[in-house]
Structure formats: structure tokens, C-alpha cells
Chains A and B, each alone.
Chain A
Amino acid sequence: MMELVCPAGTPAALRAAVDAGAHSVYCGFADETNARNFPGLNFSPDDMAQAVAYAHARGAKVLVAINTFPRAGAEPIWHRALSCAEQSGVDAVILADIGLLAHAAARHPKLRRHLSVQAAAANPDAINLYAEAFGVRRVVLPRVLTVEEISAINREVEVETEVFVFGGLCVMAEGRCSLSSYATGQSPNMNGVCSPAEHVAYSEEGHELAARLGGFTIHRTPKGAPAPYPTLCKGCFTSGPQTGHIFEDPVSLDATRLIPRLAKAGVSALKIEGRQRSRSYVAQVVRAFRAAVEAQAAGDPMPEGALARLTEGQAATTGAYAKRWR
């Protein structure tokens, strides 16, 4: 059966994920070492140790994302996170930075290493380099590849591949996107936050909901229409004579129906996005996808999803898996 890798932003969400059937849960420490460094989220070292005990007692694994890029001179923060992860007994760490990968391979050789989507390794040469140089065992592929491209990559690499199948859709080459920095000075790569909440403002203006990021208006949503997050990649802008979503609509990824093709393409693990979401979201989405991977393993048709209302834009796309970006 394909491995189902599920998100948890809090210990309560982790328990919900495990109870709902997650094979693995990924989470992070409450600091800038992980790419979901949001207010009120994440795990203290004690939380992590308890989370690992809870998951292992029920046959689930815990993967820790330490997937931001360390600031020069502040490397000890990231090194401590690695030590803490190993002491907590986690099953793997998810890393993006080459320097941190080298440090982990040298100082924590028994700690299994996965390559984060933040490393944006999107071709066999890059993936094989990470595998050979740093002993990476699994690569999380960027959300910019078609199923055919994933299949071609898997034919040329030895390591496992993991792909996103549900949740917030990052449409850029992750780890390389600086759009959030232009508006707020903070990015997921360096600070662990895309469109940080400190820079987000919503206001009801007449019959519209205005969503601003760093003072820039990203959306004006009419009454009754689904409210989006104000991320620049899904903003509504005017360019020449055209007004619209220049990069991508505010929709979320749902690749349920592509799971059989992803399995055939050699993908080992399916990842659900949403560490910033509630335990209610985690429970509902994990349960639905556990049913889907069980159906795939049994050769049954994919179950019909009813998760759209949980997603940004209340609409879903199969993202790059089944199309090319405009």
C-alpha cells in the first residue's frame, strides 16, 4: 500500500491524524526551522517526544520537517533541531538545505533523511546528487511536474519519491519563490512563513471583502463568494487589459483520482498539505485518503471525495499533474 503522509500542526492534530489512519505524520518544532512557522502552531521538544510515543504505540511514524534554509551565523538553531529530533526518536527528518544535509549526514548518520519539497529537486540528476552526497532516502517532489514526468524521474532514481495529493497548492518552484518576501520581507524559505499573518489584513468594504498582504490589496471578493488567503501567487491583478488570477486561481489540490496513475508511476508516498489546519480538517482528510490508498491497493475505483468545502476557493484542481501551467 502507498504510504499516507499526513500533516500535524499541534499534538491534538497529530493524534487525530494517527487515529484517522495516517501511516506517517509530519510536523515541526515551534521556531523558524520549519516552513509552517505560524503563531500558535508546532511542537516543543517535550511535545515531540510525546507525539512520537503516541504514534509509535499505534504503528505510525513521525517525520520532522526542518526544512528552512539556515541563516549564516545562526546554524546552531537548526543543528539543535536535528539533535532534538533524533533524541525524540523520530523516524526521519525532512531537510532542504545542503549545508544542513551535510551536517545531518555527518553528525546524525542513523537519522533517516528525506529531501523536502523546499529543495525543489525536480530532475534525476539533482535527486541522485542528494542521494549520493547526503544519503537521502526519499525525495518530496515539487508540485510542478506531470504524472508522466514523475514516472520518467522514477525510472532514473533509486530513492523513494513522495508527492502532494491534497491541500493548499504552491504553484511555484518551492524553496525558490520570493513573492512573499517582496510584500512582507518574510518568506517560507528563510522564515518559515509564506504571507505571514502579521502582514495580513481583512476588511469588509461595502459588499466586498478586501484581503491585503503587506498593505497590497490581493483580492476583493464579492459577498457570498469563497474567501481566499491573500497569497500573491493566487492574487487577482490587472495586467494590461486583463484583470484576473495571473498565476493561479485560489484553488486547492485534490489528486485523489490520479492515485492509481501515481502508483503506476512508481510513487511510494502520498502527502497531504495542511499543518496550519485544525484537527477537524486533519481527521476528515486523512480518513478520506486512507480509504483511497486502501482502494488503490485493492484495485478498486477511487472513492468520490467530498472534501471541496474544506479547501481554499472551495474548489479543487489536479494541479500540474494533469496539465501545463499557462
Chain B
Amino acid sequence: MPALLPRLPRAFQLVAMPLPVVPLSLLLGAVTRRMARTHPVMLRRLGAYAGKRFLIDPTDLPFVLLLQPLASQMTAHRRSSPPEHDARIAGPLSAFLAMMHGAEDGDALFFSRDLTVEGDTAALLALRNAIDDAELDLTEEFAALSGPLAAPLRLALARAERATGLALHRIDIGVLG
């Protein structure tokens, strides 16, 4: 029984289709470097797995992401030419966002087949646990990089969250029923 995850709006998928991967990689790299700096405990939890290459495959987007925690790098690549990696995790974007923000349990998404994993299972487990403990908040990470635009960005992301159902900020765990 799959989880009741929101689907990425078709319009967003169409907009994302022609996005160039180089500027996207620059943005992702900046967010990843900031997360590594502000959440150093993630690298400690990853331990020997910090040097692994993780392919994150949001199956409803036209590109895949390569995360290299030790180098604090994340880059976007066309799905047709995925980079070499040690472990791959695939599923809808909404599943990744829900797991990162504490709205869904990673194992439950695996049981329900919403997420699939391949490759170095131990590395993926370490990554999942490190991210869960860090209690990340993507909205706040982007806002911190946006200078004077932080307030309107928060507003825009909150609206996008309401409109799409995607978990774009860390949820208050107290609201989980």
C-alpha cells in the first residue's frame, strides 16, 4: 500500500524539463555547503560513509542528483547520463522532501515501495539516519542564502507548500497523528 504522497504538479515537471543543470548544480552546491557548515553532526554520523557517492533520483523530475557529503557537493545531471555512484535511492520528489522534513518515515516509504534503494545499503542507512537527526529545514536553508529576499522567499515557499502538498519545511513533529 503506497503512502498517500502528493504528486508533483505536471506544470512544475514541464517547467523543470528544460532547466539547465549547471546553474541548478551551483544552487544545490551552495545549499549543501551551508548544510555541512551548519549541521556538522551529519558528517560525524556518516563516519566512513561520508566519502561515498549517493545518487538521489527524484523519478518525477528530468534530472538526478549526485550527493558527495565529504566534499560538501551536490550536482544535477540529466537522467539520460547519470554519474557513477555507490548507492542510489529513487522515488517521487515528495517522498524525499517528506522524509527529510520528518513528515514520513524512511523505512515505511521503503516497505510501501514508494522509495527503492540499490547499491551500498549501509551507506544509504547512514545517510538516512544522519539527515533525520539533523532535522533539516529546506525553506530555512534557502532563506539563509537569500539575503534581503529571505522573507518573500519564505512566503512564496509556504504558498507553494499549501498549493502542492509537498513538505517544503521541517514539520513540527508534535502535529503527526
A312 adjacent to B173 (CB under 8 Å): no
A280 adjacent to B104 (CB under 8 Å): yes
For the complex, is A89 an interface residue (Cβ under 8 Å from B)? no
B175: nearest chain-A partner, CB-CB: A283
A280 adjacent to B173 (CB under 8 Å): yes
B123 adjacent to A280 (CB under 8 Å): no
A314 adjacent to B176 (CB under 8 Å): no
Shortest CB distance B134–A (Å): 8
A203-236 vs B: 1/0 string, CB under 8 Å? Answer: 1100001000000000000011111100000000
> A39-B125, A39-B129, A278-B102 are contacts. A313–B174 as well, Cβ < 8 Å?
no
> A39-B49, A39-B125, A196-B122 are contacts. A309–B3 as well, Cβ < 8 Å?
yes
> A197-B121, A197-B122, A314-B1 are contacts. A281–B173 as well, Cβ < 8 Å?
no
For the complex, is A130 an interface residue (Cβ under 8 Å from B)? no
The answer for the CA separation of A201 and B121 in the assembled complex, in Å, is 6
B125 in complex: contacting residue of A11, A38, A283, CB < 8 Å: A38
The answer for the CA separation of A10 and B134 in the assembled complex, in Å, is 9
For chain B, what secondary structure do more than half of its interface residues adopt (helix, strand, loop), or is it mixed?
A: helix
The answer for the CA separation of A16 and B133 in the assembled complex, in Å, is 11
Shortest CB distance B85–A (Å): 15
Stretch at the interface among B60-68, B108-116, B139-147: B108-116
> A38-B129, A309-B112 are contacts. A202–B118 as well, Cβ < 8 Å?
yes
A300-322 vs B: 1/0 string, CB under 8 Å? Answer: 00000000011111100000000
A40 adjacent to B174 (CB under 8 Å): no
For the complex, is B35 an interface residue (Cβ under 8 Å from A)? no
Which residues of chain B are within 8 angstroms of A198 by Cβ–Cβ distance?
121-122
B111 adjacent to A227 (CB under 8 Å): yes
A284: nearest chain-B partner, CB-CB: B176
B111 in complex: contacting residue of A203, A204, A228, A280, CB < 8 Å: A228
B1 adjacent to A226 (CB under 8 Å): yes
A309 adjacent to B121 (CB under 8 Å): no
Q: How many A-B residue pairs have CB under 8 A?
A: 122
Which residues of chain A are within 8 angstroms of B45 by Cβ–Cβ distance?
10, 40-41
For the complex, is A20 an interface residue (Cβ under 8 Å from B)? yes
B135 adjacent to A12 (CB under 8 Å): yes
A279 adjacent to B47 (CB under 8 Å): no
For the complex, is B70 an interface residue (Cβ under 8 Å from A)? no
The answer for the CA separation of A223 and B116 in the assembled complex, in Å, is 12
> A201-B121, A227-B110, A313-B111 are contacts. A19–B173 as well, Cβ < 8 Å?
yes
B residues 10-60 with Cβ under 8 Å of A?
A: 44-47, 49
B123 adjacent to A39 (CB under 8 Å): yes
The answer for the CA separation of A217 and B103 in the assembled complex, in Å, is 32
Shortest CB distance B35–A (Å): 15
B177 adjacent to A287 (CB under 8 Å): yes
For the complex, is A9 an interface residue (Cβ under 8 Å from B)? yes
Which residues of chain B are within 8 angstroms of A38 by Cβ–Cβ distance?
125, 129
B113 adjacent to A200 (CB under 8 Å): no
B111 adjacent to A16 (CB under 8 Å): no
For the complex, is A277 an interface residue (Cβ under 8 Å from B)? yes
> Interface on A for B, CB 8 Å cutoff?
9-13, 16, 19-20, 38-41, 44, 196-198, 200-204, 209, 223-228, 276-281, 283-284, 287, 309-314
8 A–B pairs (Cβ distance < 8 Å), ordered by A: A10-B132, A39-B129, A223-B113, A225-B113, A278-B128, A279-B135, A280-B173, A287-B176
